[in-house]
């Protein structure tokens, strides 16, 4: 079948369009990698989530017995902490890089750990998994591990 000039032009244009979209997609990924992550300049929305999460870490008791995260995880989780019973706790500096981990017979995500700490540590009511409070707490804990290598199932330090 003979291809007319018009058909050939439209094939060429279509090929060029596909290539342009692919290039844009690549450029998009590269942009995120080189700005937001490697130099620590977080997008404003994320920066605000980290800020709110830090506030949640220091202040609310989640309706519990008066403790906050800071009661056990000192200096915003940046140094070794201590539970009220004297048990030494690791810092939370790489926590986000070592979850998920094995817990009992199952897998625990960072959200599972935060839920557990609110229930068992604060004797409070944990924020729902899909709540903004949970997102903000995860954002804050993850900000502590920014730049640390992912080491799923690894050891806290």
Report the alpha-carbon distance of residue 136 to residue 114 in Å, rounded: 11
Kindly state the smallest distance separating residue 87's Cβ from ligand HEC, in Å: 6
Kindly state the smallest distance separating residue 89's Cβ from ligand HEC, in Å: 5
Report the alpha-carbon distance of residue 69 to residue 120 in Å, rounded: 11
Report the alpha-carbon distance of residue 10 to residue 100 in Å, rounded: 50
Q: Which residue in the set 121, 136, 142, 143 belongs to the binding site for ligand HEC (CB under 6 A)?
A: 121
Eight-class DSSP state of 3: P
Q: Please give the distance of CA 34 from its chain centroid, rounded to a whole number.
A: 18
Q: Which residue, 42 or 71, is less far from ligand HEC as judged by CB?
A: 71
| Interface with ligand HEC in residues 63-102 (CB under 6 A) | 67, 69, 71-73, 83-84, 89-90, 92, 95, 98
In the chain, helix, strand, coil percent, each to 5? 55, 5, 40
| Extended strands (E) in the chain | 81-82, 88-89, 101-103, 106-108
Kindly state the smallest distance separating residue 75's Cβ from ligand HEC, in Å: 13
Using the rule CB under 6 A, give the single segment among 1-9, 16-24, 38-46, 111-119 that binds ligand HEC.
111-119
Q: Which residue in the set 49, 134, 138, 141 belongs to the binding site for ligand HEC (CB under 6 A)?
A: 141
Binding site for ligand HEC (CB under 6 A): 57, 67, 69, 71-73, 83-84, 89-90, 92, 95, 98, 113-114, 117-118, 121-122, 137, 141, 156
């Amino acid at each position: 079948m003979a291809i007319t000039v018009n058909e050939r032009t439209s094939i060429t244009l279509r090929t060029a369009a596909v290539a342009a979209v692919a290039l844009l997609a690549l450029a998009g990924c590269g942009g995120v990698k080189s700005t937001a992550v490697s130099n620590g300049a977080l997008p404003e929305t994320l920066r605000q989530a980290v800020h709110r999460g830090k506030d949640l870490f220091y202040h609310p008791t989640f309706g519990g017995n008066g403790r906050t995260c800071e009661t056990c995880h000192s200096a915003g989780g940046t140094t070794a902490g201590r539970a009220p019973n004297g048990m030494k706790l690791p810092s939370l500096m790489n926590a986000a890089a070592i979850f998920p981990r094995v817990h009992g017979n199952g897998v625990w995500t960072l959200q599972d750990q935060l839920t557990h700490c609110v229930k068992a540590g604060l004797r409070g009511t944990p924020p729902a998994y899909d709540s903004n409070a949970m997102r903000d707490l995860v954002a804050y804990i993850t900000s502590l591990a920014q730049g640390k290598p992912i080491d799923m199932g690894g050891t806290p330090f």
